[in-house]
Structure 1
Amino acid sequence: MTGNESPSRSEDDRLAVVVAKPRAQDAIDALQAEGVYDADRSVSEHGADAVAIPVTESPENVSHREVVRQVGEPRLRTLEDHLHERGWSDDELDAAPGSWAVIGSVVLVDIGDAPRPGEVGRALLTMHGEADTVLARGPISGTHREPDVEVIAGEGDTETVHREHGVEYGLDLAEVMFSPGNKAERARMGDTVESGERVLDMFAGIGYFTLPMAAADADVIAVEHNPVAFQFLLENAMRNGVQDRVQAYRADCRDVLAEGLDAFGEAPTVDRIVMGYYDATESSGDGGFTYLDPAIGALAPEGVVHVHEATPESLAFERPIERIEAAATNAGRSVDVLDTRRVKGYSEGVAHTVVDARIR
């Protein structure tokens, strides 16, 4: 049985749609949007390369291999349920992780002070049949923003392909960072750019913002210094079929801007700049700004800059706006703030903020 055909079902039948394992998260998102995803049951493996995703009825708008019947008990709904079944005490449950994310075939979890991390990992694999590895996430550090992770359950394969909003991101979670909390912001950038715009992504990484913008027909100059992330950036541009709209450079973005974009075979200014780095507004110590000054110098008249910052809650959004205005004044230009957003919490008392500003 294929396509949207549905088997006859009795009142006790539980249905699931079978999809290729790499498509699992996209399919779950689409089934949730259609209102037919059954959250009371678990995703389970279905053969070597597929998963069965529980549904309340056969979907009309989500492609799938077949519809099958799943017979079994309703799943345990929460991680706490799973750990309680494994004999965890109330005190131990209080220390259990409160957040995690499925990235491709990997579950990335903030393990904190939870006891018996291996049991946490195995429980998460039970909850997420589309995943085969669980990583405990540590801090991001170093010039290249490198992650610190530890395999706590599963096969231990840290390389995966993550799919969201029609974009595929190939990455190795042991080598490069990926922030699940930035999902909406990545999608928003794809919706914000206009076809034919020239965009500079100063901290491109594996293509977090570059790929959705290029997929929306913008021409993107993507600069990334980390050699591992840069290799994934090149591969991801090809994976998504946007290599003709991405000009990628492995370099420090300050060096690229100091040379001038025309030195790299590009026009000397761009219509839009994305500064997806928490310290994007840092001072250079001489009254100027390390990244804002060269960015504004590369921005066309009436161009737009998207500035990310790790901002103390008490200074959001005052501090990043003041810094953007000061940098614009240094360049003899003015600022119109178009939008401000709090993307997520960065740490206690600190928010990941974004300011969109037109530089006149």
Structure 2
Amino acid sequence: MNALAVVVPKAETEAKLDSLDAEGVYDDARKIREHDADRIELPVLAEPRATTFDALIEQDDPAVRTAGLDDYLRERGWDEDAVANAPSSWAVVGDVVLVAFPDGYDEAERAAIGEALLDLHGEAETVLAREGIAGEAREPDVTVVAGSGDTETIHTEHGTKYALDLADVMFAPGNQAERARMGAVVTEGERVLDMFAGVGYFALPMARGGADVVAVEQNPAAFRYLAENAQLNGVADRVECVLGDCREYASDEPVDRVVMGYYDSLGGYGADGENDDHRSDYLAAAFDALDGAGTIHVHTTCPEGQYPERSVERLHAIADEYGVAVASVEPRVVKSHSEGVVHGVLDTVIDDG
């Protein structure tokens, strides 16, 4: 069996994995494992040429990666019914695993699944149970179920680094493609307002794409990481960080583009029609920021069978209320929000001329 591995800093795990995979030398048939307190061993098929590393070693006893969580649970004595009811999906954010547990799991069962996930993802150090997200500040409710309990991490995707504490701020792994897209749609020197910046989910890729971004965030914990991440990604000169309510932000000059990444921007509603309030305050602030012309990316949730028609109708109704001309709306699906509900984004062009 091939036993080559590269030793890399733990903090750079995600970036190194992406680079090795792009080179075609990452060996996903073997487990990632710890080398020392600060470094890990990433299995490789051959010596990397484009990826830097601390050392190239030959492992004494390379461990084969089993097929998945179900295999690890069977090794722990779980029967087939218990395995079938275990979580089927989870997300690895930096060195933290986020998992939503089905109802009815006790503390011991959660811990057992958490330990199995740590074995499955050798680079991970903590497993968190996702309990939900609360309020407009999007504060997460999580519980440590296994590992070191350290919830602060650095997550890297498409070259953008996000430092964050998953116990304090939200991170939506399912929005990865949309974050990358926003980094690609902006142009050099374009002025952008990110109304719900968080830790820089969209602001960072857009700034890395050459845009000048005003990033507004009202959660102090998220704001601290937003400012840190602008420095971490080398774009502090292109990101103006503003702590406060985006509806109260007044720009000195019009922007070309507005990102409304909060999915309740149009008013929340689910598959059963509950909480169907008509919200216009966020869009009104976006219209003011554009001052007559530009693009707004409006995130929204909607019953799956009624998207995009219902969301587009609501957007037009609010625009009419404020006397704003909508030139075009291009709807996109970001991901499933919950059972029967889609999370979408409306790429909306405003042109009063």
Counterpart for residue 250 of structure 1: 243
Shift in alpha-carbon separation, 1:287–1:150, aligned structure 2, 3 A: closer
- Summarize deviations over 1:282-319 as a string: whole Å, max 9, x none: 29x99871211221122144401111111110111112
Deviation at 1:67, TM superposition (A): 2.1
Counterpart for residue 54 of structure 2: 65
Gaps of 5+ in 2: 269-275
Gaps of 5+ in 1: 1-11
Name which of 70, 91, 101 aligns with 2:91: 101
Counterpart for residue 6 of structure 2: 17
Alignment coverage as a number of residue pairs: 340
1:111 lines up with 2:104 in the alignment? no
Counterpart for residue 56 of structure 1: 45
Deviation at 1:273, TM superposition (A): 0.1
Q: Which one-letter code corresponds to 2:10 in the other structure?
A: K
CA distance in 2, matches of 1:159, 1:74: 29
Contact 1:282 1:291 in 2 (8 A): no
CA distance in 1, matches of 2:122, 2:72: 14
Name which of 257, 274, 292 aligns with 2:259: 274
Q: Which one-letter code corresponds to 1:112 in the other structure?
A: P
CA distance in 1, matches of 2:34, 2:129: 23
Name which of 306, 312, 317 aligns with 1:321: 312
Counterpart for residue 7 of structure 1: none
Q: Which one-letter code corresponds to 2:83 in the other structure?
A: L
Deviation at 1:78, TM superposition (A): 0.2
CA distance in 1, matches of 2:295, 2:136: 27
- Summarize deviations over 1:6-47 as a string: whole Å, max 9, x none: xxxxxx332222211111112212222232222211111112
1:312 lines up with 2:303 in the alignment? yes
Q: Which one-letter code corresponds to 1:299 in the other structure?
A: L
1:145 lines up with 2:130 in the alignment? no
Shift in alpha-carbon separation, 1:166–1:287, aligned structure 2, 3 A: closer
TM-score (norm 1): 0.89
CA distance in 2, matches of 1:337, 1:141: 33
Moved >6 Å (runs of 4+) = 285-288
Deviation at 1:275, TM superposition (A): 0.2
Partner SS state of residue 83, structure 1: helix
Counterpart for residue 118 of structure 2: 125
CA distance in 2, matches of 1:72, 1:166: 29
Q: How does 1:38-53 map to 2 (within 5 A)?
A: 38-53=27-42
Contact 2:128 2:142 in 1 (8 A): yes
Q: Cα RMSD over matched residues?
A: 1.9
Contact 2:246 2:285 in 1 (8 A): no
Counterpart for residue 18 of structure 2: 29
1:89 lines up with 2:89 in the alignment? no
Q: Which one-letter code corresponds to 1:227 in the other structure?
A: P
CA distance in 2, matches of 1:317, 1:33: 36
Partner SS state of residue 261, structure 1: coil
TM-score (norm 2): 0.91
Contact 1:296 1:327 in 2 (8 A): no
Partner SS state of residue 359, structure 1: strand
Contact 1:139 1:148 in 2 (8 A): yes
Contact 2:312 2:329 in 1 (8 A): no
